[in-house]
Structure 1
Amino acid sequence: MLAAVLSSGRRLTGDELASRREAGRQAAEHGVALRSLLDLYLGGTRMVWRELATPGTAAATVLVEACFQAASDAVVALAEGYDTAHHIALRQEEAGRREFIDDLFSERSDLGRLAERAQHFGLRLAEAHIVTVAKADEPFGEATPASRTVSATMTNRFREHDLLIITKDERLVCVAPSSLPEASTEFAQQVTSTGPRNCRVGVGRAHRGPRGVLRSFGEACRSIDLAERLGHADRVVEATDFLVFEVLLRDRAAMSDLIATVLGPLHNTRGGAAPLVETLDAYFSHGTVPGAARALHLSTRAVVYRLERVSKLTGYSATDPGQRFTLEAAVLGARLLDWPAHPLTPSG
């Protein structure tokens, strides 16, 4: 091709440029580095020039221009073909990654095939994994600054370990082997320091197998939701801290019945049930009347009076060990269902 150019001084034809683009595409698909490809073509140009050019003649100047123009056109065409194949490969890789992520967090995926594909993305699903989830009012996306910063930092620090940093349902998610608990800690620290101010992080428990990742993810998400509903101040919460609440919520109808039966009579007060439920919550949280009084900015006498009112109206005393469990369970349920601000759903 170059010999024909040197013999006539013409530029490369459309077909010749197309063939170079195809050559660039094939090189990319076969894993040839672009640097090696360009070095090969430019080296070939020098060899042909030495064999065919006659230096010192007027024609040589024309041939030099034609030669370098042809080399430039060929290199550009090669790079275009190479880049096209590279972008296609990236899109296919990203599509495959998103498909894998969707299957990883789906209950209907083929477990055998899922385990095979997981190895390609650095996960050994036979091991136990911990899923850590970050959620904020501002959605996390693959291209958002916080997502990219956290992902880059985690990848650099744990380069030799099997981590998966992804976005799922507008949350930022870290999947790490349970043998690397510091990954969850680092992820939480990075998100809370570089992410949105209102960001909250939930840490699931370690679970083994393909479904273990999904289970840990669900726990992490629920721990965030529960922390928000219960008004927890901590930005990082763990699923283990909310196991009792998980149990209480498994039967919402039974919980509603418990609240209505135990705390329902508190509605029969002039101020309504809310102040008395708040007092019970503070008392159970701090363990003493003075502690509850400080939390509520009340006198100890006012707290004692409210606790006595609760006992008189409900028949349950917060200070009686035998009755405390029932009363505290009802108060926890009220916090979870945001009662009495929201009415209970009738059972049956």
Structure 2
Amino acid sequence: MDEVPGVPADLLGGHLRVLKAAAATGWLPDRDALDDYRAAGTRAAESGVPLRALVEAALLMAESVAPVPLPALRRTVSALMEGYENAQRLALRQEETARREFVDDLLQGRADRLAERAEHFGLRLAEAYVVAVARPSGPPGDGDTTARRIEEAMVSRFGSHNVLVAVRDGGLVCVVPGSLTVATGEFTHHVRQLFAPGWRVGLGRPHRGPGGVVTSYREAAGAIELGDRLGLRASVLKAADLLVFPVLLRDRAAIEDLVTTVLSPLLETRGGPESLLGTLEAVFASQGNQTAAARRLGVSTRAVTYRLERIRRLTGFSPDDPTQRFTLETAVLGARLLDWPAHPLS
């Protein structure tokens, strides 16, 4: 009997004996025999023997038995495949567990054999990496399945050594080399296809080393948080575009003083300052075009003009003046960051 390349000779050592006994007696293999086949399938998977080669070897051995006991052969091959597939599922679960633990350690900066473990997932931490964070609009659903689908698609394009996708805190995290600028766009493309409307993606800046991955991750997550706090409409938020806001928040006393000084007169308006703040935001988002701002707000251009004049009278600041416009816009952004006036300032 010819041997199948790549299949150890002792892996199916009892196979002929089982088949000959079935051919002679007509009895099917018992539970113990089938358990041995499942164990052989497990050993084959753990040894890296291809499933096709394993089944081919079992069928090739059966050709030397006459008559071939087909019911027994079917059960033995089925048990081999079951053991093989069980081993693969176990290995996949172990790999996913190791991946989650690695991602948690990587994003929290825990340095326990981090570089060595990173190589297992194809990352070279001496390089600069960018982190993208995708947050769904509702419950995450089967995040592991979504992560696998996105990672498979990206690996097929960029290679396994360039992509790491994992589930974290109900969203997806994608780590790619900073030099691979198109990868974050590809990640966003797949998020758009698989997530329900309302999703957001935050993009950190490229940073070098394990600590750089942590920094980029925090920037990406922070970009989404800022987008929520500021009521930004964009689905994709880049930390590089939002650098002014962490600067504002570093001196909380200064931004509180700015908001109080510039915007507190709006508290005197009937119904509160929200409609006036919203009008300023719409005007700033429309680059000062009051007609476009009116469309955003769903009101008439005359209403926008009236509100801006009221803001000028109450605060003394006009968005038509370049310097005063900057002060007003910074104050409005500060108000959103501090959740004013819902949360009064001290």
TM over 0.5: yes
Aligned pairs for 1:259-338 within 5 A: 259-270=259-270, 272-282=272-282, 284-285=284-285, 288=288, 291-292=289-290, 294-296=292-294, 297-299=300-302, 302=306, 305-312=309-316, 325-338=326-339
- Match of residue 180 from structure 1: 180
Rounded Cα–Cα distance in structure 2 between residues aligned with 1:271 and 1:7: 94
Deviation per CA, 1:257-283: give whole Å up to 9, x if none.
Answer: 432233223323456434544454455
Identify if the C-alpha distance between structure 1 residues 158 and 141 changes in structure 2 by more than 3 Å, giving closer, same or farther. farther
CA displacement at 1:156 relative to structure 2: 2.7
Identify if the C-alpha distance between structure 1 residues 301 and 123 changes in structure 2 by more than 3 Å, giving closer, same or farther. closer
8 A contact 1:200–1:224 mirrored in 2: yes
Rounded Cα–Cα distance in structure 2 between residues aligned with 1:80 and 1:283: 65
- Match of residue 86 from structure 2: 84
Deviation per CA, 1:233-254: give whole Å up to 9, x if none.
Answer: 2222211111111211234454
CA displacement at 1:333 relative to structure 2: 0.4
Segment drifting more, 170-179 vs 81-90: 81-90
Q: If the length of structure 1 is used for normalisation, what is the TM-score?
A: 0.79
Q: Which amino acid is the alignment partner of residue 237 of structure 2?
A: V
Rounded Cα–Cα distance in structure 1 between residues aligned with 2:340 and 2:130: 33
Counterpart selection for 1:32 from 46, 49, 52 = 49
- Match of residue 98 from structure 2: 96
CA displacement at 1:286 relative to structure 2: 5.1
Rounded Cα–Cα distance in structure 2 between residues aligned with 1:129 and 1:323: 40
Q: If the length of structure 2 is used for normalisation, what is the TM-score?
A: 0.79
8 A contact 1:133–1:201 mirrored in 2: yes
8 A contact 1:141–1:147 mirrored in 2: no
- Match of residue 38 from structure 2: 21
- Match of residue 57 from structure 1: none
Identify if the C-alpha distance between structure 1 residues 250 and 80 changes in structure 2 by more than 3 Å, giving closer, same or farther. same
8 A contact 2:100–2:167 mirrored in 1: no
- Match of residue 200 from structure 1: 200
Unaligned runs of 5+ in 1: 54-63
SS at match of 1:237: strand
8 A contact 2:58–2:77 mirrored in 1: yes
Aligned length: 323
Identify if the C-alpha distance between structure 1 residues 161 and 31 changes in structure 2 by more than 3 Å, giving closer, same or farther. closer
CA RMSD of aligned residues (A): 3.1
Q: Percent identity?
A: 46
Q: Which amino acid is the alignment partner of residue 99 of structure 1?
A: E
- Match of residue 75 from structure 1: 77
Deviation per CA, 1:49-99: give whole Å up to 9, x if none.
Answer: 3xxx5xxxxxxxxxx26x444433432332232223222222211211121
Specify the structure having the higher radius of gyration (Cα).
Answer: 1
- Match of residue 226 from structure 2: 226
CA displacement at 1:320 relative to structure 2: 6.1
Rounded Cα–Cα distance in structure 2 between residues aligned with 1:200 and 1:228: 10
CA displacement at 1:180 relative to structure 2: 0.7
Rounded Cα–Cα distance in structure 1 between residues aligned with 2:177 and 2:75: 50
Rounded Cα–Cα distance in structure 1 between residues aligned with 2:131 and 2:322: 38
8 A contact 2:259–2:335 mirrored in 1: yes
Rounded Cα–Cα distance in structure 2 between residues aligned with 1:81 and 1:282: 63
8 A contact 1:142–1:167 mirrored in 2: no
CA displacement at 1:210 relative to structure 2: 1.2
